[in-house]
Structure 1
């Protein structure tokens, strides 16, 4: 039996902070007022600032790069569907489940999703990862 198997799961969670939004805006260059301007955001359908969608997505990067498949793995692709907004103070848990794995090619497909602390689905998709060979995965 190998290191990876269909149905294998992992998760990683983080509470989204004011600093996260500010830092992500600085890194990405996305200063959309929906993310950084409270007065502007109050007038939107959300009634408050929302986290950048790609900030939420970045939790998947942490999960996949560090936990499953883990260190040495490389993203080949990611589909995304944003379902609900994430607000400052929400705790978001990124989850992944192996749905397909070809050990000869080292290609893994995972169902990915992010949920808020109350179980609300905020993001879903599928990741394709290049997995390191067993020798380099140690």
Structure 2
């Protein structure tokens, strides 16, 4: 990705990632890293008694993988300020393939730093059926600079 400065971002611009299939290994590794061994994720027999009828992916794992998919392009003039408005909309199961769609939703100045602006990317993680499984806002601090020549 070429360097994009604050003024280069366009409201409504979209970027879609490639897909990633969720595996049993993802469940086990994420449980080990996070310490979340809740039976909803790890116990197939227990999960059969839930409304979903099978194990569901950790929401934090779906977020981590969904955001990780977006890291294929790095803008040296931007850095993450944080995430807001995250919701786990639908469950993700072993065998589901997810991808992330980012849409530039907002731009504003930064009240503390005149040399940067804030850009909000609205993220949607979607499954192979096109259903939204997770939503979030990713806030970027982006340098103001000379806009790219188009």
Q: Do both proteins adopt the same fold according to a TM-score greater than 0.5, normalized to the shorter chain?
A: yes
TM-score by structure 2 length?
Answer: 0.76
Residue 14 of structure 1 contacts residue 91 of structure 1 at CA under 8 Å; is this kept in 2? yes
In structure 1, the partner of 2:49 is: 43
In structure 2, the partner of 1:112 is: 123
Q: Determine helix, strand or coil for the equivalent of 1:98.
A: strand
Match among 68, 73, 79 for residue 73 of structure 1: 79
Relative distance call for 1:3 and 1:29 in structure 2 (3 A) is same
Q: Supply the RMSD in Å over aligned alpha carbons.
A: 2.5
Which whole-Å deviations, capped at 9, do the CAs of 1:28-77 have from their partners, x for residues lacking one? 1111111011111111111000000111111342244443x646622422
Q: Which 4+ runs in 1 deviate beyond 4 A?
A: 69-72, 132-135
Ranked by relative contact order (alpha carbons within 8 Å, sequence separation 6 or more), the top structure is 2
* Largest Rg, 1 or 2: 2
Gaps of 5+ in 2: 110-114
Task: Point out the structure with the larger helix share.
Answer: 1
Q: How many Å separate the matches in 2 of 1:84 and 1:66?
A: 25
Gaps of 5+ in 1: none
Residue 65 of structure 1 contacts residue 73 of structure 1 at CA under 8 Å; is this kept in 2? no
Relative distance call for 1:132 and 1:40 in structure 2 (3 A) is farther
Write out aligned runs for 1:1-138 (5 A). Answer: 2-12=7-17, 13-67=19-73, 70=75, 73-102=79-108, 104-131=115-142
Tell me whether 41-50 or 93-102 shows the greater mean CA deviation. 93-102
TM-score by structure 1 length?
Answer: 0.82
Total equivalences in the alignment? 134
